[in-house]
Amino acid sequence: MRLLRKRAEPKGCLNLDEMSAYLDGLLPRKLRNELEDHLAFCSACRRTVIDLRAILTSPDNEPVPECAEGLGDACAARLRLHSLADLATSA
């Protein structure tokens, strides 16, 4: 079955670094406001943030959820976070 076709993102869409910083509460208020303004009208980014938050808050020992359609980036982010965590704990 054909998965969701990747659409061209409207200009100004958020990248995963911004989203994860937002979810971690690391963004300065100005950026956070801009990001929330964007989320208010961009359902694609809003959904990605929701998906990303679900991934980031799921316990580490849970199996990685299967990459649902449109979740490729978020899954990649999770994998990246995992390797960062490995680096942090092995240091």
Residues at the contact surface with Zn ion, assessed by CB under 5 A: 13, 42, 45
Report in angstroms how near the CB of residue 68 gets to Zn ion at its nearest.
18
Residue 3 and residue 29 in contact, taking contact as beta carbons nearer than 8 Å:
no
Task: Give 13 or 76: the residue with its C-beta nearer to Zn ion.
Answer: 13
* Residue whose entry in the numeric block shows the structure tokens 């869409």: 13
Report in angstroms how near the CB of residue 38 gets to Zn ion at its nearest.
6
Residue 27 one-letter amino acid: L
Task: Give 8 or 88: the residue with its C-beta nearer to Zn ion.
Answer: 8
Burial profile 60-77: b = 16 or more Cβ within 10 angstroms, e = fewer: eeeeeeeeeebbebbbeb
Task: Give 43 or 61: the residue with its C-beta nearer to Zn ion.
Answer: 43
Report in angstroms how near the CB of residue 81 gets to Zn ion at its nearest.
21
**CA dist., res. 22 & res. 37, Å (int):** 13
